């Protein structure tokens, strides 16, 4: 990692990134309240903006922009794997909420 390149932006880069994130948050509010689109269209727009915000925050505030690309890709793959593994328990959660299927037959 080139320290001189990393420190060249300094506080100015952080303030600019912060202002961009604030503007994107404002854009989310505008999209949420000003949109006449229904649930799926609105959810898709909000997810795109949220993904862009998260990407900018991770790249700049967690300093992953200056790391090797292989590290960033491996962190992304591991994160996606963990999120997919968390989704494995949803069916059991619905079973606990609604009760055991066919329990009334006994």
Q: Taking the chain (106 residues) in consecutive chunks of 10 residues, what is each chunk's mean pLDDT?
A: 55 87 92 78 87 87 82 87 81 66 58
* Residue listed under structure tokens 């609105």: 42
Question: Which position has the token pair 């689109």?
Answer: 37
Q: What is the dihedral of CA 85, 88, 90, 93, to 10 degrees?
A: -110
Domain extent listing, the chain: 3-100
- CA 42 distance to own-chain centroid: 16
Statement: the pTM of the whole predicted model exceeds 0.75: no
pLDDT at 41: 81
- The Cα–Cα gap between 24 and 12 comes to 18
């Amino acid at each position: 990692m080139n320290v001189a390149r990393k420190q060249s932006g300094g506080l100015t880069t952080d303030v600019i990134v912060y202002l961009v994130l604030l503007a994107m948050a404002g854009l989310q509010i505008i999209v949420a309240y000003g949109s006449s689109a229904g649930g799926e269209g609105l959810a898709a727009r909000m997810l795109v903006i949220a993904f862009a915000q998260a990407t900018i925050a991770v790249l700049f505030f967690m300093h992953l922009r200056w790391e090797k690309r292989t590290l960033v890709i491996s962190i992304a793959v591991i994160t996606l794997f963990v999120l997919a593994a968390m989704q494995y328990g949803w069916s059991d959660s619905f079973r606990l909420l609604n009760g055991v299927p066919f329990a009334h037959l006994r």
